[in-house]
Amino acid sequence: MITKATLQDIPSLLTLINSAYRGETSKKGWTTEAHLLEGKRTTEDELTAMILDPKNSFLKFTENDKIIGSVLLVEKEHQLYVGMLTVSPELQNAGIGKKMLAEAEIHAKTLGLSTLSMTVVSVRSELIAWYKRHGYVETGEREPFPSSDIHINISDKPLEFIFLEKKI
């Protein structure tokens, strides 16, 4: 079931998101950032701010009372930004991510928006290919990957974000 996340969901979301993007547990899935970045993917404070922001909808995918997927949707002028799409590493490749993307499209239509957009780390070619199979295209826009205390680049390649979008 896909519903809106609340502040009470933050501990579960924090564990899910950090385990799916970074560290050893993320390697159980078909895609990970563990070989590119160390540190946490997000923090409790960041999730709290996201959930409290009225322009955001943070959705959770729950099965048997456990959060196994999530996605951040941000209303930005004429488009809906899709971020932090997460599926539990052990359950990746079971259609949960696809369902979350479909829910993002429904949400965009509800808001009267016809474009979904996102950024992906440029060297994550398998993930970019997955999004392209779901109708997203590269816009040609790029921006440097931000450095911070929680996003520690361990890649020998420079990291940058590429922008993808989908018209619905």
112: CATH:
3.40.630.30
Q: 143 forms bridges with which residues in the sheet?
A: 161
Residue 149's pLDDT band, with cuts at 50, 70 and 90, is: low
110-120 pLDDT, tens digit per residue, is 999 999 999 99
Instruction: Give me the domain span that covers residue 122.
Output: 2-167
Give the chain's domain count: 1
Q: What is the pLDDT of residues 75-89, one digit of tens each?
A: 998 999 999 999 998
Say how many CA atoms lie within 13 Å of 134 toward its Cβ: 21
Q: What is the pTM of this model?
A: 0.89
